[in-house]
Amino acid sequence: MGKIDKGFTLIELIIVVAIIAVLSAIAVPAYQSYVQDSRRSDAYVALTAAAAEQERFYIYDNRYSTDINDLGGSASPEGHYAITLTATDSTFTLTATAVNTSTQFLDTNCRTLTLDNVGRRGSTNSNGATSTGCW
């Protein structure tokens, strides 16, 4: 009678490990990019809500607020972005900047997002240069 081998050979095991390594090298960065893209919605929500509050403030006072606390505070709902306000009586710009305590800070292509009083959207990367595809 012949000997029946059970189990895996070392070569088969190495091939399986190599396949898993290649798949994870592709999947992990893609997943992280997807998470960063989806977390940008935290900034969108914060900026559009603050802009709506600014318009409401303007209706009652005939000027825009210069205090971010009048608009819902300086943090986004999920805490991934810090919200700042630059305003005069007739204009405003809201800026959402990824906080360095959040993993969203690793989103170097879209580090800051802006929205102004005429609805103009903007974004900059980690070097301060204008970036596209963030909104």
Residues 14-69 have pLDDT tens digits of 999 999 999 988 888 888 888 888 889 999 999 999 999 999 999 999 999 999 99
In a domain, 133, yes or no: no
2: confidence class by pLDDT, cuts 50, 70, 90: low
In a domain, 71, yes or no: yes
In a domain, 132, yes or no: no
Range of the domain at 70: 10-124
In a domain, 135, yes or no: no
In a domain, 4, yes or no: no
Q: What percentage of the chain reaches a pLDDT higher than 90? A: 66
Q: How many helices (H) and strands (E) does the chain have?
A: 1, 4
Structural domains in the chain (count): 1
What pTM, to 2 d.p., does this model score?
0.77
In a domain, 2, yes or no: no
Side chain identity at residue 12, one-letter code: E
> In terms of Cα–Cα distance, which of 87, 97, 77 is closest to 117?
87
7 DSSP assignment? S
